Chains A and B, each alone.
Chain A
């Protein structure tokens, strides 16, 4: 079974692939991009919730840190949710400039967020939660998105 770090890192790459596909379709025709954009947003939301409802919760309980790194990550998830909403609005308005302006911002925000998680938080989580690693990965895998 993969570790928490491996599991969530692979999930990041999955979202990156969807992001690239979304831009690919939108570049050809913005109107046709609604479905793939929704797919990207759903995958990201699932990833956020896997963290917020499972991994972060366990981490916070174990370490007692609720205002530390996980609070920052939760805040950045909110920032990204805001931008994702704007992507759908841009598609509805058929505004290509706004769409790609938003993907550009989202891309950098997303990547620097992923970097912080992959290089620091996941490593910390793996250390603190190693005993329950398999159980946590299982819970994240079977979680139903709210």
Chain B
């Protein structure tokens, strides 16, 4: 058993996850600005350079950053995993990823081969120096709960899809794109979004929903099998996609069915939760579960429509499902981390979590975000909506960043004062 996981210095330094959490909304703002500057016709073509660049500003810059921060924070608590030199590695990884995404966007927009090449290297290394140690550390865990299993599976999909992504970007850099490029691009995007992000969210939801909202637990069947079935579905889908694309819908049906079941389960659990409190984090879970339902059915039916609506579906799944859950969770994680680290340093009179954020701003942020989501979906059919949706999105992400910074400032302000009770005598390294 890993005793280190429960020792006094089990939590990573606060700078490690916060670095990632605070950067995420900035990339979303950048994505919003790029949408604003783009022509709607090119945006709604999946393989246009602009849509690839903007998608990655969100997928890496937001999803990737939030997940890395969350994994770093969760692994010690959920699995007793202690990451080696986490502070230093995080600093390197974060820097490489920030420049990686920026170079990738610049390189794609301006067709700069060297910059693209550099971006591919930075992104792959930036991700892998964190993800591979996490995967290795998980091998020593004895008590494999369904959540830890899901994290483990998600890390495998992450490492493969990121490596494929690096190869694809390398292809852009060297202008060596073949037919395989498009097949790999399909596998890369489906495995990254459903395998890496989707499975991680499912695993975390098993823990978070019953715990934070005192909701009924997920059924053992759900916890034991959903992740397994989706993973098998994703592998079978990749195989069919390469050799028998006309039958790929069979695997898609399986994947969609189980994501749909998960979305419904989330909705039902929230209905039966024991905590009466209904805050924006609950609303975010709610809209996510609705968009899971719509998104996966649309994804499935789209196979019979020659993937004509893939961009709308990406907005529904990426925005409605994934981004919603992540924003909601950030509102819980960041204030809690600040409280936790201040308390461990011996401060007793810390503002409560609710005092760290402004509830009204959270509601405005939620409304603007929801408007932008519907706006983007409408814009796929009526391009006039694009500009307003982009503005609403940018504004909502500025408010998200503002709320997170406001909470971090509480931390900065408090540590300038003397702790009420000096814990250094107990050698508390937190």
Contacts and interface: CB of A to CB of B under 8 A. Distances in A.
B73 to A, nearest CB: 9
Nearest to B2: A120
Contact of A68 (B6, B79, B211, B348): B6
B77 interface: yes
B276 A23 contact: yes
A75 B336 CA distance: 17
Where chain A touches its partner, the secondary structure class is helix
Given A104-B352, A104-B353, A108-B212, A119 B145 contact: yes
A20 B274 contact: yes
Interface in A96-131: 97-98, 100-102, 104-105, 107-109, 111-112, 114-116, 119-121, 123-124, 127
A72 B336 contact: no
A19 B212 CA distance: 11
Contacts of A19: 214
Interface size range of chain A in the complex: 35 or more
How many B residues are at the interface, by size bracket?
A: 35 or more
A120 B143 contact: yes
B8 A102 contact: no
B143 A123 contact: yes
Given A109-B340, A116-B6, A23 B275 contact: yes
21 contacts: A24-B274, A24-B275, A27-B276, A65-B3, A68-B7, A69-B5, A72-B6, A75-B428, A100-B277, A100-B354, A101-B351, A101-B352, A105-B353, A109-B340, A111-B212, A112-B77, A115-B211, A119-B80, A120-B6, A121-B6, A123-B143
Given A105-B339, A109-B340, A115-B211, 5 more contacts: A19-B214, A20-B275, A27-B277, A105-B353, A124-B3
Interface of A: 16-17, 19-21, 23-24, 27, 65, 68-69, 71-73, 75, 79, 82, 97-98, 100-102, 104-105, 107-109, 111-112, 114-116, 119-121, 123-124, 127
